[in-house]
Amino acid sequence: MLTRSLRRAVRILHSNPHARCVSSKVLRTFKLADIGEGITECEVIRWAVAPQSSVGIFDPLCEVQSDKASVEITSPFEGIVTELLVKEGEVARVGQGLCQIEVEEEAQEERSLTGDDAPRNNEESVAKTEAQHNSLDESVEAQTPRTLPPQQAARRPHPLDPTQKSEKPKSSAEVLAPPSVRHYARSQGVDLAYLVPGSGKDGRIEKADVDSYLSASAPSPTSVSYDGQDITVELGRTRNAMWKAMIKSLEIPTFGYSTSLDITELHALLQVLNLHIPAHFLPASDTKSKFDPANALGVAVPTIPDIPETGRFTRMTYLPFLLKTLARTMMDWPLFRASITPNAAKPSLTIRSHADIALALATPTGLYTPLLRAADTQSVYSLASTVTHLAALGRRTPSGLTAAHLGSGTVSVSNVGAAGKGEGASPVLVPSGGLAIVALGRAEWIWDVSETYWDESRGLKGARRLRLPVSWTADHRVVEGAELAAFVEAWRAWVEAPTRMIGEGL
C-alpha cells in the first residue's frame, strides 16, 4: 500500500498545470547485429526481460546461441520493452528485429490552464493512471505463488534420454540463490535452473539443495521403465548445429590420406618430460619443490605466468607434443596456415602469421572446437596446460567454453583415439573449419618386421615399436593430394625424431 501511495503522490506532484516536461515516446526496433565468424542466424535461448519491463543501457536483453557459442545481448536504449518479436527457442537471422523498446525523449512544454476543465482533466488523468497501476499491481500479486512445492533432485537428462521430461527448466532470471551457492554450484558443474524451487525461504536455493542434486545424480538401474513404445526426440541446439554443418560439408570436395607414425622415441622422451614439469604447471597441492631459486639472491626474475588450477597437470600425454610438432610443420608450409578469404570477389587465401589449430572436444553438452591460437609460440608444457584447461571448461554443465575460446583454425585436430580403438577414420571437413583436419587414433605396440628392423645378416628379426594411426582430410579445392602427402611426411620427420625439437626449444 505504501508503494501505491508514493506512486499517487509522485503522479499528483508531476501534474503541475503551469509548466512541465512532456515525453515524446519513440518506438525503436532492436535488431540482431552481426556477431562475426560468418554467423547468419542465432537461436534465442532466454529472454531476460518481458513486455512492459523497464531496461537501461547495457542491461541484458537476451541470450542467443549460434553454431559456435552463446552470447549475451545488452540493450542500447533506456526505456520500456513493449513487445518480444522472437520467442525463446526460435531462430532469428542477422538484421531481424528481436524486440521493440519504447524510448522517451523529453521536451519542455508550457501550457496555461484556465477554467475548471483543466484541474478536472488532470484529476481524471491521475485517477485513470492510478487505476492502471493498481490493476498491474494486482496482476503481479495474483501471479506470485503463495506456496512453493518441494522438488526432488533428479538425474540431469541427456538430449536423447527416453525418460526426459518435456518441461523446460526455469530461466536464470527466476533462480533465487545467494552468490556463495551460485559459485559452489558453478564449481560442481550444476545448473541451478534444475533446482528451482529450493528448500530455503521463498524457494531460495541453498547449498544443501546442490548437494542433494549431486548425490542423486547417479541413475538407478531400476529407475527406467521401458514400455517398448517408440518416441520422437527433437535435436538440441548443438546437434542441430552439427546437422547444418554436416550438410554444408557436402559442398566441399575432399582428399584423404592415412598413415601411421612411429612414436617410440617420443614415448621415451615423454617419460623424461613428465619427470621435469615446471612447478607453475603443477597443482598447488602437488608442488615437488618448496625452494624458490629466485629468493637466493633476491633479484628480479621474469614473471611466471599465472596458470589457473584447471590448467595444471601432473602428467602429459602425447597430444601436446603432436600439436607442437604439427604447429612447427605448419610454419614451414604457408598453405596449411591459410584460410579461404570470405566474401572475396575471386577465390583467394588469407595466410596467417602463426599456426592456429582448432581442437575438437566432445563434451556433455555437445561438440566444440576451441582454438589454440599461435600454437607455434607455445611450449609443450604450455600446450598441455591449455588443452587441460579447455577440457575442464568443456566438462562443465552448462559448458564453460565461451566465444572467447572458440574460433576457426586452419588445421583441426580430433583425438578420436581417446574414445575408441579404431584403425582408420574419415574426418569431415566443414565450412570455416580450415583447409585440413586430422583424426588421431590410439597408439599401439606392434612387432615391426619391416626392412628397417629386419636384417638376418646382422641378426635383426624385427623390433617392438609404438605406432599411432592418423587419418587426414583436406579441402581438394585448394590442397593437392601430393601437397597433403608431403605435408604429412614433413610432420612425420618431426614426430619420429623428437630430439630435433631441442634445437627449437620446447
In which residue are the cell numbers 609443450 written? 380
C-alpha cell of 163?
525418460
d(CA 446, CA 462): 10
Q: What is the pLDDT of residue 239?
A: 76
pLDDT along the chain (506 residues), means of 10: 44 46 78 74 88 88 77 86 91 90 68 43 47 42 40 46 48 66 80 81 84 70 62 78 81 90 95 91 72 62 78 93 96 95 84 95 86 95 95 87 88 87 81 87 90 78 91 94 96 95 74
- Whether residue 253 is preceded by a cis peptide bond, meaning omega within 30 degrees of 0, is no
- Whether residue 179 is preceded by a cis peptide bond, meaning omega within 30 degrees of 0, is no
Exposed/middle/buried for residue 284 (C-beta within 10 Å: 0-12, 13-18, 19+): exposed
Q: Which domains does the chain have, with CATH numbers?
A: 2-139 (2.40.50.100), 151-157+169-217 (4.10.320.10), 254-286+306-504 (3.30.559.10)
Instruction: Tell me which amino acid residue 405 is.
Output: H
Alpha carbon distances (Å) from 305 to 277, 310, 384, 390: 14, 14, 14, 17
Q: What is the pLDDT of residue 155?
A: 47
CB of 32 closer than 8 Å to CB of 92 = yes
C-alpha cell of 386?
591449455
Instruction: Tell me which amino acid residue 222 is.
Output: T
Contacts of 20 by beta carbon, 8 Å cutoff, 6+ apart? 14, 109, 111
Angle at which helices 207-215 and 179-187 cross, to 10°: 20
Secondary structure class of 71 (helix, strand, coil): strand
Q: Write the DSSP symbol of residue 18.
A: S
- CA atoms 425, 430, 433, 434: torsion sign: positive
C-alpha cell of 20?
512541465
Question: Could you tell me which residues are beta bridge partners of residue 25?
Answer: 104
Q: What is the pLDDT of residue 224?
A: 54
List the alpha helices (DSSP H) in 319-427.
Answer: 319-332, 380-395
Question: Could you tell me which residues are beta bridge partners of residue 65?
Answer: 43, 70
Contacts of 128 by beta carbon, 8 Å cutoff, 6+ apart? none
Contacts of 479 by beta carbon, 8 Å cutoff, 6+ apart? 255, 335, 435, 436
Question: Which helix (H) or strand (E) covers residue 261, if one does?
Answer: strand 254-262
- CA atoms 419, 422, 423, 424: torsion sign: negative
Question: Which helix (H) or strand (E) covers residue 485, if one does?
Answer: helix 481-495
d(CA 127, CA 179): 42
Contacts of 413 by beta carbon, 8 Å cutoff, 6+ apart? 322, 323, 326, 357, 358, 359, 360, 437, 438, 440
Name the pTM for this structure.
Answer: 0.56
Q: What is the pLDDT of residue 295?
A: 62
How many residues appear in the chain? 506
C-alpha cell of 77?
536504449
Nearest to 66 by CA among 469, 478, 448, 407: 407
Q: What is the pLDDT of residue 6?
A: 42
| Strand runs labelled E in 307-410 | 338-340, 349-351, 357-363, 366-368, 371-372
Contacts of 398 by beta carbon, 8 Å cutoff, 6+ apart? 191, 365
